[in-house]
């Protein structure tokens, strides 16, 4: 199997799905000749000149056009250049794409996958670093997917493109070229709604998604010399959420630290914490601890302070272990 970065894995998934299914089209700002701002669509225009489209800088138009394409039988994969730019298309997503199956009594679906880079890690400041996944997790009818490895990026993106409903596919910018791993060539899917244990442990569960999975793995390794055996659970999909995997891990260890880089208030970690409190509280030995971004705009100069790191996660581990 070839070793790929996440950028290469995303490109590979798009290329293979476009070869397999001529209904798959790619559209967005600079996705054609330029290959996208992070080069995830590089080379696709050469192979599929009739199915890769550069668009104006108008996110509501990009998503609105993709909804129309999906309703008429295509499987569009629109790219929003940064998640921070998705808000002009917010109404198209939450009021139209998410509602059409319900509004039509199941007669119509919107099989499209919106790809967008999200999160910090490139010192982009408050217009290029936001993590606003909770807005979309709140909307019935949308699926929300966040890979943390190149292999999962390919498998989850392939499953998203094949899904009959709209999927918001969030790509952690920090992980685009962070490392390489072996990625299966050809057919490779990862089912939506399936979490994965990245590290087995017995003392505390670290629950995260995207780049924060790597932060948790580092924190778990640093906790080990202190005699703390930490488990790391990668959610991979926020909607649908793998509740059984979350509850199994929480019941196994009795202690939970939830980690994400989005702001704390209204963040998806609150939903994870509530699920555990409602369905597994009798198994807990201490409070559920959240380690998150802050309730401030994402800063330029203090990105390393804003983003949760292994030190902050380790402090959360020690807090729940000492309860």
Q: Mind telling me the catalytic residues? A: 128
Q: Which of 270, 264, 267, 272 is nearest to 234 (CA)?
A: 272
- Cα separation, 193 vs 242, in Å, equals 5
Backbone angles phi, psi at 160, to 5 degrees: -65, -45
Write out the two tokens for 24: 């798959």
Class of residue 50 by CB neighbours under 10 A (exposed 0-12, middle 13-18, buried 19+): exposed
- Region for 272 from its dihedrals, namely left if φ exceeds 0, alpha if ψ lies in -120 to 50, beta otherwise: alpha
What element of type H or E holds 262? strand 256-263
Instruction: State the Rg of the chain over Cα.
Output: 19
Neighbours of 180 (CB within 10 A): 14
- Cα separation, 207 vs 216, in Å, equals 8
Q: Could you tell me which residues come within 8 angstroms of residue 301 by beta carbon, excluding any fewer than 6 positions away?
A: none
Q: Could you tell me which residues come within 8 angstroms of residue 58 by beta carbon, excluding any fewer than 6 positions away?
A: 88
**Do 171 and 177 form a contact (C-beta atoms < 8 A)?**
no
**Do 287 and 323 form a contact (C-beta atoms < 8 A)?**
yes
Q: Which of 38, 47, 40 is nearest to 18 (CA)?
A: 47
Q: Which of 123, 133, 100 is nearest to 241 (CA)?
A: 133
């Amino acid at each position: 199997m070839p070793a790929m970065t996440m950028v290469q894995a995303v490109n590979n998934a798009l290329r293979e799905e476009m070869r397999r299914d001529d209904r798959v089209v790619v559209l967005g700002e600079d996705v054609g000749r330029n290959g996208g701002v992070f080069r995830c669509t590089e080379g696709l225009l050469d192979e599929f000149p009739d199915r890769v489209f550069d668009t104006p800088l108008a996110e509501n138009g990009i998503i609105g056009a993709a909804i129309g394409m999906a309703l008429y039988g295509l499987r569009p994969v629109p790219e929003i250049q940064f998640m921070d730019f998705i808000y002009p298309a917010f109404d198209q997503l939450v009021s139209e794409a998410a509602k059409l199956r319900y509004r039509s009594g199941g007669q119509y679906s919107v099989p499209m996958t919106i790809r967008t880079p999200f999160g910090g890690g490139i010192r982009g400041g408050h217009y290029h670093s936001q993590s606003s996944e909770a807005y979309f997790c709140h909307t019935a009818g949308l699926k929300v997917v966040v890979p943390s490895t190149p292999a999962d990026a390919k498998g989850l993106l392939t499953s998203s493109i094949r899904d009959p409903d709209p999927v918001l596919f969030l790509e952690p910018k920090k992980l685009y070229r962070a490392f390489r791993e072996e990625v299966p060539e050809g057919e490779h899917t990862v089912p939506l709604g399936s979490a994965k244990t990245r590290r087995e442990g017995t003392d505390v569960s670290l629950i995260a998604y995207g780049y924060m999975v790597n932060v948790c793995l580092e924190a778990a390794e640093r906790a080990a010399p202190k005699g703390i055996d930490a488990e790391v659970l990668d959610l991979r999909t926020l909607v649908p959420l793998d509740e059984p995997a979350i509850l199994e891990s929480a019941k196994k260890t009795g202690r939970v630290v939830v980690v994400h880089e989005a702001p704390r208030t209204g963040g998806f970690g609150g939903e994870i914490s509530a699920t555990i409190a409602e369905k597994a509280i009798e198994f807990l030995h201490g409070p559920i601890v959240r380690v998150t971004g802050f309730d401030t705009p994402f800063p330029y100069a203090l990105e390393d302070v804003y983003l949760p790191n292994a030190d902050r996660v380790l402090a959360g581990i020690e807090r729940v272990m000492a309860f």
